[in-house]
Amino acid sequence: MSEASDVERAYGCVFCVAGKEEAIAHRIEQVCGNVRTVVARQHKRKSEQGKTRIEDAILFPGYVFFEAPTGLEAVLKFPKENVFSVLKTESGDWQLYGDDAKFAQWLFSYDGLIPFSKAYQEGDLIRIITGPLKDFEGWITHIDKRNKNGKVTVQFCNREISVWLGFEIVEKV
């Protein structure tokens, strides 16, 4: 086991200027070699002039998640330019806990990219059948037929979140 894997890791989040997330994530990793960062992104379909293409879109504008050794005070070295703050608890701790930490860990397991998931329709209720949100249940709140995707609201970490998913609607048998 390497020395780096022996160190307990924790997750945190930086609040920054929207549109600067990728640059800030890169700069944090440059300044603090033992800190990993991700910007939550998801695939989206875009149609222009009859052609559909897939783009990555930032899921939480203005936020960069990071993973660092538990006792590290790397947040003191984080860049200040375009950064409003490192999110902290009332006691001043930068570490995320509970569902927030689970969400960040889940996000890191997908390198920050939430690809398309496929879903099928049961009335307005759906179950996601592939992808990182597999087996989550939710409801379709908006359908974009042209781009072949839908806005789906699911329960995640005791919160309702809405995500756009590519999907196929299956006919009832």
Residue 34 clears pLDDT 60, i.e. is over it: yes
Report which DSSP code applies to 136: -
Query: What integer pLDDT is reported at residue 30 of this predicted model?
Result: 92
pLDDT digits (tens, 9 = 90+) for 45-99: 787 887 878 888 898 999 999 999 887 675 677 889 999 999 988 888 889 999 8
Alpha carbons 159 and 21: distance in angstroms, whole number: 23
Residue 133 clears pLDDT 90, i.e. is over it: no
In this prediction, residues 4-14 reach a mean pLDDT of: 78
Q: Is residue 65 within 8 Å of residue 107, measured between CB atoms?
A: yes
Cα angle: 75, vertex 80, 86; to 5 degrees: 40
Alpha carbons 42 and 150: distance in angstroms, whole number: 13
Q: Is residue 29 within 8 Å of residue 65, measured between CB atoms?
A: no
Domain 8-114 has CATH 3.30.70.940: yes
Query: What integer pLDDT is reported at residue 146 of this predicted model?
Result: 72
Name the residue among 72, 57, 68, 73 with its Cα closest to residue 21: 57
Token pair of 153 as six digits: 């609201």
Global confidence as pTM: 0.67
Listed by start position, the domains of the chain span 8-114, 119-166
CATH of region 119-166:
2.30.30.30
